[in-house]
Amino acid sequence: MSTLVVVGAQWGDEGKGKVTDVLAASVDVVVRYQGGPNAGHTLVVKGEKYKLHQVPAGILHGKECVIGNGVVLDPKTFLEELEGLRKRGVPVDRIHLSHAAHVIFPYHQRLDELEEERRGSQRLGTTGRGIGPAYSDKVARMGIRVADLLRPETLKAKLSRNLEQLNHLLEHVYGVEGYRLEDLLELYTGYGEALRPFVTDTAQFLNKAIAQGARVLFEGAQGTMLDLDHGTYPYVTSSYPTAGGACLGSGVGPTRIDAAMGVAKAYTSRVGDGPFPTELKDEIGDYIREKGGEYGTTTGRPRRIGWLDTVVLRHSKLVSGLTSLALNHLDTLTGLHPVKIAVGYRIRGEVWESLPLHMEDLFEAEPIYEELEGWAEMPSALSSFEDLPPQAQRYVKRVEELSGLPVSMVSVGPGREATLVRFDPFAAAPATR
Ligand code: GDP
Ligand code: IMO
Ligand code: MG
């Protein structure tokens, strides 16, 4: 088994970056296949914190890092991120950037803000990084790709065509100032030159590596419930975080994928608007937020908190064909008694064990909870599953039963030492096949 997709099994921020960093020690290549600077993946290595937005979390182990065609890249923040890493002594020369990744421009960010303002109370709570408008341009076949930045004449032709339409929209619909071609052309030609050494055909690179037996980890951003098709539409992001997105966003076919691991917290968090059935708007939610440091890596927003929802985990397993689960933040539930797990919903008297057909029904879904005994203490490092208090062991086992997924990794803190690999997630457990 040599390829594994790591998928957020909830609404993002499950600890995908941390899990990727832990597994990266034994892989050859780490690939980001979707999303952009809306992602914020935090790694804590020897007590030092690293926040990655566009660079794959394999970077700290010096592995080959691929940014695939499914990503939307913001060159400005990407180059700043590289500079930040270089300054901390992290080499960045093994980054491979797809020529076919789409590029975020300042007008995408501006449109993201303007569209959110226009939505008013129906806002999505986006990260404001221009993600939706950049993917909209891609789908509308007017996007500008990384390769275009390397050819000033191509860039000029595409940009001037786009600005004609865009400036009309900005000036006549939103009543704000438009953009000047010369300004953007100069700026983005400069970015093109800075990016040039990294740009390559990453589909070729990856397929060759896989054919030679490389271990490849696909690091998802966001999560299943934010997936454009499989999430709580329209309260989603504009890409495909689910496992199928790894194929689309990298040019590696489904016959080359061996396993998919969902990543979840022992509870649930969501940043941004939209339905959240198990949300806790009380002191238990506040306790978890403070203890778990639940503030957005990208925007600093306080995250909304709720109990673990196994309807969501089963959905995630289904749509990504997950083969195991990584369960993070068991330490954060320490001190709570009882701890609750949602096993289904009641919606207008009817019981649902999977997601309802109408997304808006989730706003009124009442979770059906199972209560488990809590635990009062937790070790700060794990060397075996038995190091967990017996109640936490039972919690993990119950999550396995309710989700139908074997837990391959558990963690009790943000560092590598607090994360236990119970079995190799690259090796799909037979029961889940
Ligand atoms: P990602 O977007 O999925 O990579 O997750 P984020 O990095 O945005 O958020 C996860 C946060 O939880 C980060 O601050 C991690 O350092 C932290 N974290 C990961 N696993 C654990 C854990 O087991 N316990 C605690 N207390 N923190 C964790
Ligand atoms: P990581 O990779 C959590 C959320 C936003 C908003 C919705 C749409 O760190 O898990 P967008 O800016 O993408 O158009 O916003 O998606 N969102 C995330 N939530 N973690 C993320 O990334 C997210 N990226 C986007 O809050 O609700
Ligand atoms: Mg995050």
- Would you state the pLDDT for residue 393? 98
Q: Which residues, listed in sequence order, are joined to residue 200 by a DSSP beta bridge?
A: 98
Tell me, what DSSP letter sits at residue 213?
Answer: T
Is pLDDT of 169 > 80?
Answer: yes
pLDDT classification of 167: cutoffs 50, 70, 90: very high
CATH top-level class of 3-89+201-421 = alpha beta
Q: Which two tokens stand for residue 71?
A: 């990503």
- Find how far residue 295's CA is from the centre of its chain: 15
Mean pLDDT of 402-414: 97
Helix 106-119 with 131-139: angle, nearest 10 deg: 110
Centre of ligand 2 to C-alpha 123, Å, is 13
Centre of ligand 2 to C-alpha 396, Å, is 27
- Would you state the pLDDT for residue 298? 76
Q: Is the CB of 241 under 6 A from ligand 1?
A: no
- Would you state the pLDDT for residue 428? 66
Q: Which residues, listed in sequence order, are joined to residue 124 by a DSSP beta bridge?
A: none
Q: Where are the alpha helices (DSSP H) in 239-282?
A: 243-248
pLDDT classification of 1: cutoffs 50, 70, 90: low
- Would you state the pLDDT for residue 433? 41
Centre of ligand 1 to C-alpha 205, Å, is 30
**Which of these is catalytic: 21, 41, 102, 331?**
41
Q: Which of 30, 39, 25, 28 is nearest to 6 (CA)?
A: 30
Mean pLDDT of 321-332: 98
Q: Give the C-alpha separation, 205 to 210, whole Å.
A: 9
How large a percentage of the chain has pLDDT more than 70?
98
Cα within 13 Å of Cα(171), Cβ side: 10
Is pLDDT of 193 > 90?
Answer: yes
Q: Give the C-alpha separation, 304 to 307, whole Å.
A: 11
- Would you state the pLDDT for residue 203? 98
pLDDT classification of 168: cutoffs 50, 70, 90: very high
Topology (CATH) of 102-197: Adenylosuccinate Synthetase, subunit A; domain 2 (1.10.300)
Q: Where are the domains of the chain?
A: 3-89+201-421, 102-197
Q: Give the C-alpha separation, 368 to 200, whole Å.
A: 50
- Would you state the pLDDT for residue 300? 86
Task: Judge whether 336 and 284 are in contact, CB under 8 Å.
Answer: yes
Ligand 2 atom nearest residue 126's Cα: 15
Q: Is the CB of 226 under 6 A from ligand 2?
A: yes
Buried b (16+ CB within 10 A) or exposed e, 344-367: bbebeeeebeebbeebebbeebeb
Residue 13 annotated among the catalytic residues of the structure = yes
pLDDT classification of 5: cutoffs 50, 70, 90: very high
Buried b (16+ CB within 10 A) or exposed e, 48-81: eebebbbbbbbbbbebbbbbbbbbbbbbbebeeb
- Would you state the pLDDT for residue 297? 77
**Three-state DSSP class for 152?**
helix
Is pLDDT of 143 > 90?
Answer: yes
Mean pLDDT of 353-377: 97
Give me the chain's average pLDDT, please. Answer: 96
- Would you state the pLDDT for residue 317? 98
Is pLDDT of 430 > 70?
Answer: no
- Would you state the pLDDT for residue 296? 85
Strand 259-265 to 3-8 pairing: parallel
Is pLDDT of 429 > 70?
Answer: no
Q: pLDDT tens for residues 104-121?
A: 999 999 999 999 999 999
Q: pLDDT tens for residues 36-81?
A: 999 999 999 999 999 999 999 999 999 999 999 999 999 999 999 9
